[in-house]
């Protein structure tokens, strides 16, 4: 399949999903499509128009508008972008270590390499992508600063990066976000705007605020600059593994929208094409694992709940899924009990404080979801922002 045809298929799948969402039919969809996603002109654009011209006159108008706007390919970051991001964030981010633990190795009869980005600035990997994106924002073009939406870790990363860059930051967060994450945003000077995650769209709210304030919207995951920033986790991991004389057979990474795992996969595959990369998600929110199997976007059914508050996005990002579909070997799923057990193990044995979402890759090893005996496997501990009550439950 040609790259051009792949882009066309990607656009068709996205647009089909959008036009069947009744709440977003009409010209508003077209504006969102033009502004937020890659669009096509010429022959491919004509194919899109032909494909949908019979569905609805409003949709036809949307497609005509798309054709008039021109065309460009999706901007998929590469390893060079990850390298550039590493240089950009270096003065402000922590280069977190790559650890080994004899007790863990003996317990699993394997060599386990631990990347604890719970030790990163703001207590999570999210600072990396946030700073890589915000440091490029034109203050003159966006006098209102920056706006984002997040369950908490990206929120803190954006607030801290904005503070460093001298921007105002407004963060749309769920009303049930962990208090430690809300406090982290406020401590960095960010404005918290609460929403109901069950009944409201955080993206709609955030983008409306960005428009009203002339602020730059910083996506939580589906953005080339954010992905490249998160990819520095993988760059450091593989560089440090090489210094230890190790080549991972596999790398396990927590996943939600896919910004971290897609960036890590780009870096891992650059250093070692034979290393397998797996996503790890909580039960009921395994949209990426199911999407990888189906070869198309799958959505989580409503009504599920998980203590992994940072991993509750309903479906993978458009750009991140394209990267994951190319580089990932598959997806793993673990339950909340396994996440709590991994938090306890990290505290008692590794001497690390990890939140449920951040512990889920380690949980996949300890719970047996991923066989490791005799292998070298790296895991990313992506965050450590956990409320005291939740942590007390885990280590009890």
- pLDDT interval class at 13 (50, 70, 90): low
Q: Please spell the DSSP secondary structure of 49-108, one letter per residue.
A: HHHHTTT-HHHHHHHHHHHHT---------HHHHHHHHHHHTTTS-----B--HHHHHHH
Decide if pLDDT at 2 tops 70.
no
Picking from 217, 237, 258, the residue at the C-terminal end of a domain is 217
pLDDT tens digits for 54-86? 444 444 444 544 444 444 445 899 999 999 999
Decide if pLDDT at 367 tops 70.
yes
On whether residue 132 sits in a domain, the answer given is no
Question: What's the rounded mean pLDDT across residues 135-155?
Answer: 95
Question: What's the rounded mean pLDDT across residues 221-230?
Answer: 96
Decide if pLDDT at 385 tops 70.
yes
Give the DSSP H or E segment for 327.
helix 318-327
Question: What's the rounded mean pLDDT across residues 15-33?
Answer: 41
On whether residue 131 sits in a domain, the answer given is no
On whether residue 9 sits in a domain, the answer given is yes
Decide if pLDDT at 18 tops 80.
no
Question: Which candidate in 115, 126, 225, 318 is catalytic?
Answer: 126
Shared domain for 213 and 357, answered yes or no, is no
On whether residue 99 sits in a domain, the answer given is yes
Shared domain for 281 and 388, answered yes or no, is yes
On whether residue 307 sits in a domain, the answer given is yes
Give the DSSP H or E segment for 112.
strand 111-116
Shared domain for 259 and 364, answered yes or no, is yes
pLDDT at 29: 38
Decide if pLDDT at 31 tops 50.
no
- pLDDT interval class at 198 (50, 70, 90): confident
Shared domain for 229 and 315, answered yes or no, is yes
pTM assigned to the model: 0.83
Shared domain for 315 and 386, answered yes or no, is yes
Shared domain for 87 and 173, answered yes or no, is no
Picking from 30, 45, 68, the residue at the C-terminal end of a domain is 68
- pLDDT interval class at 15 (50, 70, 90): low
pLDDT at 303: 87
Shared domain for 230 and 340, answered yes or no, is yes
pLDDT at 288: 97
Top-ranked range on mean pLDDT: pick from 24-33, 311-320, 357-366: 357-366
Residue 50: Cβ within 10 Å count: 10
Domain count, the chain: 3
Decide if pLDDT at 297 tops 60.
yes
Shared domain for 145 and 288, answered yes or no, is no
Q: Which residues contact 172 (CB under 8 A, 6 or more apart)?
A: 147, 148, 149, 150, 193, 194, 195, 202, 205, 206, 209
Distance CA 122, CA 336 (A): 24
Shared domain for 87 and 230, answered yes or no, is yes
Q: Is 351 a catalytic residue?
A: no
On whether residue 383 sits in a domain, the answer given is yes
Picking from 68, 96, 115, the residue at the C-terminal end of a domain is 68
Question: What's the rounded mean pLDDT across residues 274-293?
Answer: 97
Q: Which residues contact 361 (CB under 8 A, 6 or more apart)?
A: 252, 253, 254, 280, 379, 380, 381, 382
Shared domain for 347 and 287, answered yes or no, is yes
pLDDT at 10: 52
pLDDT at 386: 96
Decide if pLDDT at 41 tops 60.
no
CATH number of the domain bearing residue 200: 3.40.50.1100
pLDDT tens digits for 175-190? 999 999 999 999 999 9
Tokens representing residue 169 in the block: 């930051």
Decide if pLDDT at 6 tops 80.
no
pLDDT tens digits for 299-328? 999 889 999 999 999 999 999 999 999 999
On whether residue 73 sits in a domain, the answer given is no
Q: Is 151 a catalytic residue?
A: yes
The domain in which residue 87 lies consists of 79-125+224-395
pLDDT at 45: 44
Question: Which candidate in 38, 93, 150, 151 is catalytic?
Answer: 151
Decide if pLDDT at 20 tops 80.
no
Shared domain for 161 and 282, answered yes or no, is no
On whether residue 196 sits in a domain, the answer given is yes
Shared domain for 234 and 144, answered yes or no, is no
- pLDDT interval class at 345 (50, 70, 90): very high
């Amino acid at each position: 399949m040609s790259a051009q045809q792949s882009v066309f298929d990607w656009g068709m799948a996205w647009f089909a999903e959008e036009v069947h969402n009744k709440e977003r039919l009409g010209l508003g969809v077209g504006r969102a499509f033009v502004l937020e996603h890659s669009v096509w002109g010429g022959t491919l654009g004509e194919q899109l128009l032909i494909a949908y011209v019979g569905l609805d006159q409003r949709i036809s108008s949307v497609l005509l508008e798309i054709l008039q706007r021109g065309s460009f390919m999706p901007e998929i970051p590469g390893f060079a972008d990850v390298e550039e991001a590493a240089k950009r964030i270096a003065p402000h981010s922590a280069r977190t270590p790559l650890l080994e633990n004899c007790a863990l190795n003996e317990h699993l009869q394997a060599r386990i390499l631990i990347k604890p980005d719970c030790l990163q600035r703001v207590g999570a990997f999210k600072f990396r992508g946030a700073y890589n994106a915000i440091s490029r924002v034109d203050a003159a073009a966006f006098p209102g600063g920056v706006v984002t939406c997040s369950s908490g870790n990206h929120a803190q990363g954006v607030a801290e990066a904005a503070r460093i860059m001298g921007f105002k930051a407004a963060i749309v967060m769920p009303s049930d976000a962990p208090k430690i994450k809300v406090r982290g945003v406020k401590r960095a000077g960010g404005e918290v705007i609460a929403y109901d995650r069950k009944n409201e769209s955080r993206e709609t709210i955030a983008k409306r605020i960005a428009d009203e304030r002339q602020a730059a919207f910083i996506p939580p995951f589906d953005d080339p600059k954010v992905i490249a920033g998160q990819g520095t986790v993988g760059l450091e991991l593989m560089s440090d593994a090489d210094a230890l004389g190790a080549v991972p057979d596999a790398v396990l990474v927590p996943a939600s929208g896919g910004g971290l795992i897609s960036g890590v996969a780009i870096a891992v595959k650059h250093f070692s094409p034979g290393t397998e990369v797996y996503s790890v998600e909580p039960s009921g929110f395994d949209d990426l694992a199911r999407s990888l199997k189906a070869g198309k976007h799958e959505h989580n059914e409503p009504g599920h709940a998980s203590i992994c508050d940072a991993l509750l996005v309903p479906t993978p990002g458009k750009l991140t899924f394209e990267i994951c579909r190319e580089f990932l070997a598959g997806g793993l799923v673990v339950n909340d009990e396994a996440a709590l057990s991994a938090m306890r193990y990290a505290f008692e044995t590794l001497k690390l404080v990890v939140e449920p979402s951040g512990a889920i890759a380690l949980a996949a090893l300890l719970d047996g979801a991923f066989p490791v005996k005799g292998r070298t496997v790296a895991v990313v501990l992506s965050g450590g922002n956990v409320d005291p009550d939740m942590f007390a439950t885990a280590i009890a």
